[in-house]
Amino acid sequence: MKLFFKGKWFEGTNPIAVCNPFDGSVVDEVPTATAEQVQEAIEGATQGAQQMRSVSGYDRSLFLRKAANLMLDRIEDLAETISLEEGKTLKESRAETMRAVATMELCAEEAKRIAGEVLPLDGASGTAGKMGWTIKVPCGVVAAITPFNYPLNLVCHKVGPALAAGNSVIIKPASDTPLTSLKLVEILLEAGCPPFGVACLTGGGATVGTALCQDPRIRKISFTGSQTVGESICRMAGMKRVTMELGSNSPLVVLPDADLEKVVSAIAFAGFANAGQVCISAQRVIVDAAIHDDLIKLLPDRISAMRAGNQMEKETDVGPMVRESDAQRVSQWIDEAVASGAQLICGGQRHKAVIQPAVLTGVTRDMKIAKEELFGPAVGILKSTNIESAIEEANHSPYGLSAAIFTQDIDAAMKFAHRVESGNIHINWGPLWRTDMMPYGGLKQSGLGKEGPRYAMEEMMESKAIVIHSDF
């Protein structure tokens, strides 16, 4: 596939092979954008930002709605592309595509709802005869730097709000998963998006990402990825708006009155969806000592029954990790935990990039698997003694993106909700849950700003105050 900017498709240099994580076979190739092409793309997007300002909210809504419909028509092609380049199962990829459709539909609706407010100037001294209001205007060119793990929906969460708000947008997709982004561009163009309104540049972060972050013509950066890269982007960004959706180490707390069958189901989903490569995966399960052994008895049979392997086979529950090197790292962390006293009660076997879902007990907070972001198919079980110790354990992390608790005690649930330092709190389900309309973002080192179409659009627009001074 080719690069897209300035309304045209271009060849690049140094082709990048996009490979199937399961067997390493080449799915396709994409070019590496040159430094000169990046500058041309920014120039084109700057022109596109001016063009987008003249497109009405109604017309932006029309092409975003049409794009959603085209995505729905092509669900199997998009799902297959996601699975081939990212490694998630076809079932998971279809679910992601449907979520992406919903995201674009939400953006289409929000494009029609942009409005300022009347300013109550009469409530201030010396304002007789004055009338004021605000309007919201697009910020300009948005850089969307996207991750590999949701190569369609998380791209839509940046591109859709940017276009709905009347901006132009440059997509810099993850090098592992660029094909889905390029197909999204094709769909947007077919749907009627102004050609200069969208661009897609493939290549490494050193050339493409750095140039986008440093260029003053870029007015907004929306990034999803690691904390380390996010901090680097913030240092480069200067006087730009930034949204940072960074790492996590999500806790799932289980109190004595929890429904353990429901807990097991939540762990199976929240711990191992997309081979654990989700920033809000359940990584730490903090279980009250009173029911710890009961839960441990239930987990192995359920988790061991999950089939890991070729993501293109419908019987597969857990596909490969995106890179074999990542699978090697997860195996190393598991081995380190066991060497430090943890017990591997199921899973953990690795074949190339595939790891059988793993559960470890006897995990302590000082183990790497408990204190850093694993981003892989393993869950660590820790003990607590009451709601207070569970909250303290949940907060023992530099991250704060999503947290969950299982209990029938409303007082305990509300104490957890108010005191746990996390941007998203879930009661009686796991931390891996998100509907695309909700405000989504983290606290502490998990990031800055919020996603969700309405909330993202707010951060992609600027307010202007207008005052009429009259003598009446």
Q: Are 192 and 86 in contact (CB under 8 A)?
A: no
Q: Are 133 and 119 in contact (CB under 8 A)?
A: yes
CB neighbour list of residue 17: distance below 8 Å, 6 or more residues apart:
26, 29
Low-confidence ranges of the chain (pLDDT < 50): none
- What sign for the dihedral angle of Cα 89, 260, 287, 349? negative
Which active-site residues does the annotation give?
Answer: 245, 279
In the block, tokens 């405000």 appear at 439
Q: Which pLDDT score, from 0 to 100, does residue 204 have?
A: 87
Rounded CA separation 205/196 (Å):
23
Of the candidates 246, 225, 159, 252, which has an alpha carbon nearest to the alpha carbon of residue 197?
A: 159
Complete domains list, the chain, with CATH:
3-246+446-467 (3.40.605.10), 250-435 (3.40.309.10)
The burial of 341, by beta-carbon neighbours within 10 Å (0-12 exposed, 13-18 middle, 19 or more buried), is given as exposed
Rounded CA separation 274/319 (Å):
7
In this prediction the pTM is 0.97
Rounded CA separation 361/11 (Å):
52
Q: Give exposure, 195-217, as e/b (b: 16+ Cβ within 10 Å).
A: bbbbbbbbbebebbbbbbbebee
Rounded CA separation 128/403 (Å):
51
DSSP three-state, residue 141: strand
Q: Which pLDDT score, from 0 to 100, does residue 206 have?
A: 84
Rounded CA separation 5/199 (Å):
5
C-alpha 314: how far from its chain's center?
25
